[in-house]
Each structure stands twice: as C-alpha cells, then as structure tokens.
Structure 1
Amino acid sequence: MTGLHERHLAVSPEWLSLYYRRPLELTRGEGRHVWDADGNRYLDFFGGILTTMTAHALPEVTKAVSEQAGRIVHSSTLYLNRPLVELAERVASLSGIPDARVFFTTSGTEANDTALLLATAHRGSNQILAMRNSYHGRSFSAVSVTGNRSWSPTAFSPLQTMYVHGGVRHRGPYADLGDAEFIEACVADLEDLLGHVRTPAALIAEPVQGVGGFTAPPDGLYAAFREVLDRHGVLWISDEVQTGWGRTGDHFWGWQAHARNGPPDILTFAKGIGNGMSIGGVVARADVMNCLDAHSISTFGGSPVTMAAGLANLSYLLEHDLQGNARRVGGLLIERLRAAGARSPAVREVRGRGLMIGIELVRPGTDDADPDAASAVLEAARAGGLLIGKGGGHDTSVLRVAPPLSLTVAEAEEGAEILADALRAAG
C-alpha cells in the first residue's frame, strides 16, 4: 500500500471507491494517454468516467482556461457573464428544444436534481417514473430515482418513484421478444402502471444507461413512451450526462434515436462538455424552466473559467466532426471487441454504439454475472497499458469502454488488442 493510499484511507469515507488492487495516481495526460506517478503510460479508454471527452490537455481548451483565469476566475450568476451567455446560446440551439432556456450547474447530479425540481413544480406532483437499472447521480433526489441497487444507498426519498421496463434489452421478462414486440410490451407496462397511480410529474431516462453497463432499448422506445406520456400530461426528462455531444456516433443527443415525437421537455447534460472542467446543465422549454416562483442562483454553476472551457471544447468538437469520428472509429472498435468476445466463453455480449461500448461478463455456460472476472480483466488491462471502466446492474460485471472522441484508428486497434489479451489472461 502506497503512502498516498494510506493517507487517502485515513481521511476518506469507506464508500468512496478506488479502482485496482494498487490504486492509481494519475499525474499527467496528453491526447488519449495518461501517465501515473511512477511514469507508466496508459491508453485511456475511460476518460475520467466519460468526462475527458475530446482529449487530455487539448491546447484549445487549456488556452481558453488560462486566458480566462488571467482575467477573472469567478463572479457567480448574480452578474452578467459573457462566456455563460455565449455557451447557453449554443447549447440552446443544439438542444432541439423550442424556446429553450439553459441553467448551468457544476455536475450531472446537480443537473438532474434541478430537472426533478422543475418537473415536480411544473406538474404539481412528487411522483416520478424512472427506468430499472438506471443511474442519475449522488444527491438525495437523484439517488431516489436511481434504479440500480448498487448505486442507491438509501430507501429514503423526497419523491415517490415508480420503475418501468425498457432500459435493458437482453435481460428481464421481455428479453426474448423481437424489438417491435419488446417496445409493445414495455409500452403496455407503462400504460398499465399509469392506470393505477396519480399522474406523475415526469419520466427520467438515460437513452443509453451509463453506470448500468451501457445498455439501451431498441430505437424508438422513448418515442413510443412519449405518445403515452403526452396523453397523460407527463414530462420527459432525457438524461444526456453520458450520451450527449455525439458520443453515440449516430446522433448528437441520445434522444435523437427516439425522435419521432420531437425533443424531450427537459434535457440534462454534464461530463464531456467541459472536457474535465466541472460543467453540468439543464435545458427546458421556457414555460417549464420559468415555473419556479422563488428566486434562485448558482454560486459556481456557469463560472467564467468553466464556460470558457466549454465554449472552446464545443467548438473543437464541432469543427473536427468528433461525432463522425465516434461513429467511424467506434464502429471499428466494436467490431474488434466483438471478435475478441467471440473467443471468450466469459463474454455474454458486446454492445454499444459510437464510442460507448459495454462488454458483459458471465460465468461460462451460464447467464450469471461475474463481477470477479470484470475486476480481473480491469487489472489485466491496466497491466497491458489500458484503462477501462466497469459497471452494470448485475453486480458490476460489465466492462465500460469510452475513449475520448478524438481516438485514432491506430489507438482503437491497440486498445482492442490489449483488451483481447486481458480477456484471455483473466480466463
């Protein structure tokens, strides 16, 4: 155990997780690579939990941060803030939500907390629909709509939450159905639930479940849900904290895979837009955003420095078509990983789209989740020079692969080879 690890344990809560038997201290990053305190170099396929979206130490972002910090670091939302207004204008335009208003926070948790506040105030209801296997953050309200037991540490809640089917395609009672029948069954489940309860305020859903192991329903599920929700006057909150900004390749937002009925009523975002800086936010129609009847501010949300980083990062993302790169290079990467998975009896499924890929591990010959195998592959990948993540709704048995969106073909090939070796080494 290192001295820093001992010091960490002495001052940190026991539930604050660390990866690896020998925890890693990262001290430097550049492009798609990071270095630890011992000088070891790693290909980063997790990007600070999907947060270093573009690249480590991206010159355009570091320059914007440095220049803004040299002018003024902080002011709060009590004062006009030019970078905040400029980024809000761009996000509102990109969101697809008509007459959109934008509120910036410091994290995805806080963004989802704000969305829940808006929805419950607008609809006059504390009932929320959420998806099984979901994750929406660490705050008291966000935990209370999280449908993943591993990440929901309390049953106490300010909200009455009801969980519906649909977020997990290949497990559960509808797993054996075709896509159309799966959607039909999930819609019937939603209709049945709404027939037994008072009208909820909103459905909150991740288009691709992040912590849940990069699971997703068939395209069109949330469009079908939306038809039911609209009839009942229920808002739709799309949690885009992990799926936004083009990571899925096919779409800029995850909700666009379910776009038959237009954009969600409320959209939340965070992580990648700041490329490592603390940015979260909420986009909503003006009537929803303006429904609160009390004053509010954000001390740190929308700080000049983080907004400058977001503007520079978003410009780079769009100018270099990183969504297209996620589609092209991500398609290659998932092909390589599926080939590797086909050779391993522990791999139940390789799934995903763009640069958001999950590898679900089970005990060979069964459908039983194998979290020990996931931990072993994580360790073996690190030994080979690759950092990945893990998650899943069945005891953390899914490897999560989410490199920065500027990943090159050569790096994708290298990472896939290391991961294939790690799967073999872990048995």
Structure 2
Amino acid sequence: MATETAGLHEALHARHRAVLPDWLATYYDRPIELTRGEGRHVWDAEGNRYLDFFGGILTTMTAHALPEVTAAVVAQAGRLLHSSTLYLSSQAVELAERIARLSGIPDARVFFTTSGTEANDTALLLATAYRGSNQVLALRNSYHGRSFSTVGVTGNSAWSPTSLSPLQTLYVHGGVRSRGPYAHLADPEFVTACVADLEDVLGQTGGRVAALVAEPVQGVGGFTMPPDGLLAAFKQVLDKHGILWITDEVQTGWGRTGDHFWGWQAHAAAGPPDILTFAKGVGNGMSVGGVVARAEVMNCLAANSISTFGGSPVTAAAALANLDHLVGHDLQGNARRVGGLLRARIEGAAARLDVVREVRGRGLMLGVEMVVPGSDRPSAQAAAVVLEAARENGLLVGKGGRAGNVLRIAPPLSLTVAEAEEGAEILEAALAAAREDYAARVAL
C-alpha cells in the first residue's frame, strides 16, 4: 500500500458518518472504498487488490469492466442519455423482447424499473389491483426490498424497520429447509407439510388473497431454499383460488444457480409464474430492474403510469450487451461447473470445523452458516471474523441471514477454476480463524 494513500478510508468514513444515515450499513471495522475493477478483481482507494466473491451484492454478474458493456454504455451516452417512457426507445423494446422470450411467461409484457425494490413494488401493485385485494402471502425469512410496500412483505425481521404496511401479509413456511418445525422431515414430507400450512392459512384469510411472492433462493435471508418442486406444489393450491404467483428473481435470475436460467424453473412442474421480477445482474452494475407479467395482469391498471428512468437508453444498451455476453459464453454452464467445484472445496474445509453448521446453495450462489462451535446457535461474531479475515487476505464475501451469521458467496459468473481455488483457500483460512477466535475468547 502506497504511503500517500494510507488513511484515505478513515477520512472518507468520517465524512460518510457526518452526512449519511446512521442505519446505512457498511462492511468491516474499517470500511473501504472500491475504486476500480477488472474481471473478477477490484481495487480499493488505498491500492489493495481483492478477488470479488460478492459482485456488488450479486450485481456485477459477468465481470467488472466488461469491455462489451463499457463500449455499449459509452456509445449510447455519446448519442443520448435519457428520454423517459413518454418516447419510443428501440433499446428498451429490444431488451423487453429478449426478456419476454427468456422469461417463459406466455404473452408476456415487460415494465422496466431502476431496482429490484421498485420491481417488487410494481409487482405488488399489479397483483393487488388485478385481484382487488391487499392480502399477500410471503415466505418467512424473506426479503423483497426497502420500500414501504416491500418491507411489508419482508419476513426477515433484521431488514423490516416498521410494522406499518399498506398490505395485509400472511407468512407461510417453506423458505428455510434446515431450520424450523419441519426441518426434520424428508423432502417429500417437508413439501406436504408446507402445502398443508399454506392451505390452513388460506382457510383463515376471510377474503381474496392477491398473490404469493417468493424468492426461489432467499438472498438476504442467507441463501436458503426449499426442496425443488415446493413452489410448484404451492401453485397448484394458488390456482384453485385464482391467486397469482410472483417469483422474485432479483438475485436468482440470469443463470446464477447454474442448473436453471431462472430460479422458478426448479419448480416448473405446475407451469410458469404469473409475474416475474428481475434486477441486479442484468445490467452488470447499471441500474436496471423490471417486471414481466402475462398481458392480462400487466395491462390491468386503469390509471396513467410512466417511468422516468426505467429502461433508459443507456441502461438498456448495457443490459443488451451484457445478455449477449452471458448467453454467448454460456456463463450459466460456467456457474454450474465452477460453482460445483467451489462448493466441494468449501464443504471439505467446513467438515473439519465445528463453527460451520451448513454449506448450501447452488451454482455461484453459496451460503455458509456460522454457529457457536458444538451447537446449533447462530454466531454473527464468527461470520464477522470470517468477513474481516477474508478481506485482510484479499477476498471479498457477503453476509446475511436473519441473525447475520451466514456468509454469502456470489462471484461474477465468469469465475475461473483457478480463481475459485484461490478464493476457497483464502476462505478456508478465514473459517479456521473464526474457530481460533472462539477458542481464544473462551480461554479468557
């Protein structure tokens, strides 16, 4: 680290605290500023280089500074930055056509937003207007955004700052496989129990439920997921009542899970969802989000609506270039292959450390749940130690789970085998450091 850059992070952090909200979370005891990226690596303001296993919260989907995306952004910015949805946009139409085809939803319509929160907010607006009801089903431990309505369907108390909501939300089991009252059941019995719970909740609603909103893999919740087929079993029940299924693909979409292009496809037996939301990775860092719905649902709004920034010429151009690269280089297949290798390496390390309760996930969307050694109790302290130790040795990972005890590992989908091996080695040492930290504290 160059002498002239030492202390830059402390100075910037002091300014940050003086003008930004106290509740705006940052990572690390000594927060860092990332100033440059290339491929799967980033550099901070003090010149330190890191292997990035979190991608700006699963947003840098293909690679940092991907040349095709950079070129598309520069070219479009040199012509026109902005126009709004009041004017036609060939970039937005082309992107909508591609996403409609990829979605698997018949007769699909696409509405662009600037974020996953806004996408989920729009999906809730569509569902409640279409069904004439503000009753919504959501999964326990879920996270769907930080707006007033999306907080109202967030079942993770760590990210739900208010109990006030425009919605009446009913929470059902199913998002967390290895904890809770059904954890001891085999997968078929787990699904049966969750379906029975759903039917019991519906029997108590006393009205028309608008929709079930569900993440196929719970992101902020710690990369937990149900057995394959659960949401299909739910949909069979929902269809009997005319209730819509909203799949929140903000974190699971675009091939990240390796096995499927969308998370909902692990639950495809009952057909596609009614509404799909997306964001994050499609723009590879640009602010792109949106909603896909069958035309009957999308067109149900009776009042005027536009989007000032959704589907802007620049963000749409970036997303088109990014999708071209993603599909052309089979990054979904890479996520499956390299993700499988990475998971095996992490599982091998975790098997020797009683500070790790579980390694879970699929593709390049992996979670490592940390506990107090020799127990089942979540340990946010152990996760924090791993986060810091990994950073000190050149690896950035994320953190989640209701108790803040789950490491979230989600590198760009172009991750190489060599980079996966390097990251696994650093992570293994960081996990060992967490075990040593606990032993040292017990000895005091």
TM-score of the alignment, normalized to the shorter chain, above 0.5: yes
Does residue 42 of structure 1 match 2:50?
yes
Q: What is residue 67 of structure 2 aligned with on the other side? A: 59
Q: Sequence identity of aligned pairs in percent?
A: 77
Provide, for residues 184-215 of structure 1, a one-character-per-residue CA deviation record: whole Å limited to 9, x for no partner.
Answer: 00000001111111221000000000000000
Q: With structure 1 as the length reference, what TM-score do the two structures score? A: 0.99
Q: What is residue 274 of structure 1 aligned with on the other side? A: 283
Q: What is residue 135 of structure 2 aligned with on the other side? A: 127
Whole-angstrom CA distance in 1 between matches of 2:96 and 2:197: 37
Trace 1:16-27 onto structure 2 (pairs within 5 A): 16-27=24-35
Aligned-partner SS, 1:170:
coil
Whole-angstrom CA distance in 2 between matches of 1:343 and 1:12: 42
Q: What is residue 164 of structure 1 aligned with on the other side? A: 172
Aligned-partner SS, 2:209:
coil
State the Cα RMSD in Å. Answer: 0.5
Q: Which amino acid aligns with 1:251?
A: H
Does residue 299 of structure 1 match 2:308?
yes
Structure 1 spans left out of the alignment, 5+ residues: none
Moved over 6 A (4+): none
Q: What is residue 379 of structure 2 aligned with on the other side? A: 370
Whole-angstrom CA distance in 2 between matches of 1:304 and 1:230: 38
From 405, 417, 423, the equivalent of 2:425 is 417
Whole-angstrom CA distance in 1 between matches of 2:163 and 2:246: 22
Whole-angstrom CA distance in 1 between matches of 2:77 and 2:298: 30
Whole-angstrom CA distance in 2 between matches of 1:310 and 1:376: 36
Q: What is residue 294 of structure 2 aligned with on the other side? A: 285
Q: What is residue 204 of structure 2 aligned with on the other side? A: 196
From 158, 174, 177, the equivalent of 2:185 is 177
Structure 2 spans left out of the alignment, 5+ residues: 1-8, 436-444
Q: Which amino acid aligns with 2:28?
A: Y
For residue 346 of structure 1, report the CA deviation from its aligned partner. 0.4
Aligned-partner SS, 2:78:
helix
Whole-angstrom CA distance in 1 between matches of 2:272 and 2:412: 26
From 249, 255, 261, the equivalent of 2:258 is 249
Aligned-partner SS, 1:210:
coil
Aligned-partner SS, 1:21:
coil
Trace 1:257-268 onto structure 2 (pairs within 5 A): 257-268=266-277
Aligned-partner SS, 1:84:
helix
Provide, for residues 266-309 of structure 1, a one-character-per-residue CA deviation record: whole Å limited to 9, x for no partner.
Answer: 00000000000000000000000000001100000000000000
From 147, 150, 160, the equivalent of 2:155 is 147
Does residue 219 of structure 1 match 2:194?
no
Q: Which amino acid aligns with 1:134?
A: S
For residue 343 of structure 1, report the CA deviation from its aligned partner. 1.2
Whole-angstrom CA distance in 1 between matches of 2:326 and 2:320: 10
Q: With structure 2 as the length reference, what TM-score do the two structures score? A: 0.96
Q: Which amino acid aligns with 2:220?
A: V
Aligned-partner SS, 2:82:
coil
Aligned-partner SS, 2:12:
helix
Aligned-partner SS, 1:326:
helix
Whole-angstrom CA distance in 2 between matches of 1:162 and 1:88: 32
Q: What is residue 389 of structure 2 aligned with on the other side? A: 380
Whole-angstrom CA distance in 1 between matches of 2:171 and 2:404: 20
Aligned-partner SS, 2:423:
helix
